[in-house]
């Protein structure tokens, strides 16, 4: 049974706006509490009276409302709602959101919100397929917006194709599944460890062995897991980046420090090893600066660092229910990653090509292939690391819930 949820519905312009009235009826019947914002263009298609009659509450319309001076509407509404739904989402409104414009109550509420935002596109097929619209939609996905539809069908203009708004029942199903999954994850009280960033192995007080990892991808995965209701701890190597406040942050420097922190955090349900851990460390750290002396350099010996992914995957006691590793490769990406998956015995291995600057370390973009232990492969094309992290986190959660494992 879906617990009572609060939804803020923004009614955009377009003939499909009339379908929002049927959506109100379905949501009310299924225990949703509704507040609405009626945009200026939306008012051309539905009336405030019809909205009030179906929701029991007058719609908000203006950014500055002298009738309600005690509250700042764009803040109070965004905090009140569990989710925000824009129905229909026009090409113009999508364009506005993609550039961050906030010139009315609807757009200001969304920019001020800390909740998930669902957009339900509705427009002519050519408008939907236009490169500008598709670019804007991709950017909004990168921001974390969720898109429902559109579907193929006959348009009000008489044309047929993709661009028709999803039906009220399809929209309700998306919302229902979203809340049921979120409630289920919370009820399981799932815990996750994510490792990210580089490690440093010091040769002397000022020199160390490390790599160019920024930790961006791992941080975004930690953020995404936390947003899905997982209690997430991020073990982060030297990095200038920080996760969301909902993520517990533990900072480390060396690979051994990371290993010990991870070991002490067990047991957990999920472990994602995205850190670029130094494979080796010097046998000793000189107390003084290492001089430019060939003999001193020759005397530096190395020892293998503990393998965190291998430890988590093979430990009999407290093994996480799902262990995810990363394979940062520069050649033979898939073949090398498949070999690593078999030797490490993890559940998923995420392969990425770090030889390409546009998707490598320090980039905001990535392109990965998720390989599972049964040989299945899911390729995610070049996109923002934040968007890729969302897909990875959702895949992890869906796998755990589908397996029906014991989470006690």
Which domain-ending residue is among 147, 167, 185? Answer: 185
Question: 106, exposed or middle or buried, with CB in 10 Å at 0-12, 13-18, 19+?
Answer: buried
Same domain, 178 and 272: no
* The pLDDT value given to residue 358: 86
Same domain, 246 and 107: no
Q: What is the mean pLDDT of each run of 10 residues along the chain (408 residues)?
A: 86 93 95 95 94 94 64 80 96 95 93 93 94 94 92 85 94 92 84 96 87 93 94 96 95 96 96 94 78 72 92 88 92 91 93 85 90 90 91 92 60
Same domain, 175 and 234: no
Q: CA angle at residue 188 from 184 to 190, to 5 degrees?
A: 115
Whether omega for the bond prior to residue 150 falls within 30 degrees of 0, making it cis, is yes
Same domain, 203 and 136: no
Return the active site residues: 157
Q: CA angle at residue 323 from 321 to 327, to 5 degrees?
A: 170
Contacts of 380 (CB under 8 A, 6+ apart): 367, 368, 369, 370, 388, 391
* The pLDDT value given to residue 72: 64
Specify if 408 maps to a domain: no
Same domain, 101 and 142: yes
Consecutive H or E run containing 116: strand 116-121
Same domain, 31 and 95: yes
Specify if 89 maps to a domain: yes
CATH code of the domain covering residue 144: 3.40.50.1950
Specify if 134 maps to a domain: yes
* The pLDDT value given to residue 406: 46
Specify if 140 maps to a domain: yes
Which domain-ending residue is among 164, 185, 206? Answer: 185
Number of domains in the chain: 2
Which residues constitute the domain of residue 373?
Answer: 189-403
Same domain, 213 and 278: yes
Same domain, 54 and 102: yes
* The pLDDT value given to residue 17: 94
CA distances from 259 to 243, 263, 305, 312 (A): 20, 6, 9, 10
CATH code of the domain covering residue 368: 3.40.50.10300
Same domain, 228 and 303: yes
Same domain, 131 and 209: no
Same domain, 178 and 204: no
* The pLDDT value given to residue 311: 94
Same domain, 267 and 373: yes
Which domain-ending residue is among 162, 185, 208? Answer: 185
Question: In terms of DSSP bridges, do strands 160-164 and 151-154 run parallel, antiparallel, or are they unpaired?
Answer: antiparallel
Consecutive H or E run containing 40: none
Specify if 235 maps to a domain: yes
């Amino acid at each position: 049974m879906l617990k009572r949820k609060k939804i803020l519905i923004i009614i955009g312009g377009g003939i499909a706006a009339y379908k929002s009235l049927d959506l109100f009826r379905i949501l009310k019947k299924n225990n949703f509490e509704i507040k609405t914002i009626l945009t200026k263009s939306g008012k051309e298609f539905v009336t405030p009276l019809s909205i009030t009659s179906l929701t029991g509450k007058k719609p908000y319309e203006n950014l500055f409302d002298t009738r309600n001076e005690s509250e700042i509407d764009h803040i109070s509404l965004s905090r009140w709602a569990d989710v925000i739904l824009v129905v229909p989402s026009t090409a113009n409104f999508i364009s506005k959101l993609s550039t961050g414009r906030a010139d009315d109550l609807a757009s200001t509420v969304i920019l001020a919100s800390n909740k998930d935002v669902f957009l339900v596109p509705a427009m002519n097929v050519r408008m939907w397929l236009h490169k500008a619209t598709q670019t804007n939609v991709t950017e909004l996905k990168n921001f974390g917006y969720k898109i429902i539809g559109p579907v193929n069908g006959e348009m009000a203009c008489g044309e047929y194709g993709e661009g028709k708004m999803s039906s009220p029942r399809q929209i309700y199903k998306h919302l229902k599944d979203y809340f049921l999954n979120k409630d289920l994850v919370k009820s399981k009280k799932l815990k996750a460890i994510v490792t990210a960033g580089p490690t440093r192995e010091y040769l002397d007080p000022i020199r160390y062995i490390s790599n160019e990892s920024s930790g961006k991808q791992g941080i975004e995965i930690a953020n995404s897991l936390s947003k899905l209701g997982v209690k997430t701890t991020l073990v982060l190597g030297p990095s200038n980046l920080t996760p969301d406040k909902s993520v517990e942050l533990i900072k480390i420097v060396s690979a051994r420090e990371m290993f010990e922190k991870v070991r002490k955090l067990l047991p957990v349900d999920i472990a994602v090893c995205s850190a670029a851990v130094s494979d080796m460390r010097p046998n000793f750290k000189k107390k003084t600066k290492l001089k430019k002396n060939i003999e001193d350099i020759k005397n530096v010996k190395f020892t293998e660092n503990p393998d965190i992914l291998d430890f988590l995957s093979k430990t009999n006691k407290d093994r996480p229910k799902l262990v995810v590793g990363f394979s940062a490769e520069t050649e033979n990406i898939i073949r090398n990653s498949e070999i690593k998956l078999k030797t490490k015995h993890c559940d998923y291995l995420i392969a990425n090509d770090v030889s390409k600057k546009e998707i490598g370390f320090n980039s905001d973009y990535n392109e990965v292939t998720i390989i599972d232990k049964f040989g299945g492969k899911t390729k995610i094309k070049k996109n923002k690391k934040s968007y890729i992290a969302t897909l990875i986190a959702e895949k992890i959660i869906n796998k755990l819930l589908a397996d029906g494992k014991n989470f006690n």
